[in-house]
Amino acid sequence: MIRTSFIIWALMLVTWCAMRYPAMRRARRQKTRVDRRSTLDISLLVTCTFGLVVMPIVWRLGIFDGFADRAQGIVLAILGTLTGIAFLWLFRRSHKDLGKNWSVTLEVREGHQLVTGGVYAHVRHPMYASFLLWGITQALLIPNWIAGLAGLVAVMALYAVRQSREEAMMRDTFGAEYDAYCARTKRLIPGVF
């Protein structure tokens, strides 16, 4: 079951990369109007890569030598697979709805428009929600307390720091239109939070 869980996780990682690559290519061609990247921002993105990609691979290579391993049952594998499907769907939908407005860092593009349709009609940060689902997926599929939870911890740190900075940037860019959007949507979970 451990090998199967890891293979499912790895297939989801490959699928995520295949979805992200076209958006990154498109984003490089877009001109930036506002750039609020910081060393902290870049460091948190690197930490997410380490937690969501490197740690599970290091664990699978046996570097932990069984340290902090836990049992892996079929129920956790099924829950991890279902959560992973939700993560990939929400991630893809978020990218599709954002279109040319997406960037990996805190940037506003030339001709940037406030996106309030699709999944953005229900939550302001579906991309972060998808990454939180990815972290949960990893915790369920990687049967090691350290490698399994590393992604979730990294994503929560990224969200805790970036969401307020991102919302301030959007408020500066879109003003009252963004405030009205915030008043009718929740941050991560429709109708809850």
User: How would you label 144-181 residue by residue, b for 16+ Cβ within 10 Å and e otherwise?
Assistant: bebbbbbbbbbbbebbeebeeebeebbeeebeeebeeb
For residue 35, the cross-strand partners are 107
Instruction: Give the per-residue pLDDT at 20.
Output: 92
pLDDT in tens, 71-130: 999 999 999 999 999 999 999 999 999 988 888 888 888 888 999 999 999 999 999 999
Closest by CA position to 72, among listed 61, 64, 81, 84 = 81
Instruction: Give the per-residue pLDDT at 104.
Output: 83
Domains and CATH numbers, the chain: 2-10+37-184 (1.20.120.1630)
95 touches 24 (CB < 8 A): no
Instruction: Give the per-residue pLDDT at 154.
Output: 97
- Judged by average pLDDT, the poorest of 28-42, 61-75, 76-90 is 28-42
CA-CA distances (angstroms) from residue 168 to 51, 128, 174, 182? 27, 16, 10, 12
Q: Can you list the alpha helix ranges (DSSP code H) found in 30-52?
A: 39-49
d(CA 151, CA 139): 8
d(CA 88, CA 16): 7
Return the DSSP state at 51. I
pTM (two decimals): 0.92
Q: HSE on the CB side for 27, CA within 13 Å?
A: 17
d(CA 185, CA 183): 6
* DSSP string for residues in 147-168: HHHHHHHHHHHHHHHHHHHHHH
Tell me the pLDDT band of 26, cut-offs 50, 70 and 90. Answer: confident
Residue 8 has pLDDT above 90, yes or no: yes
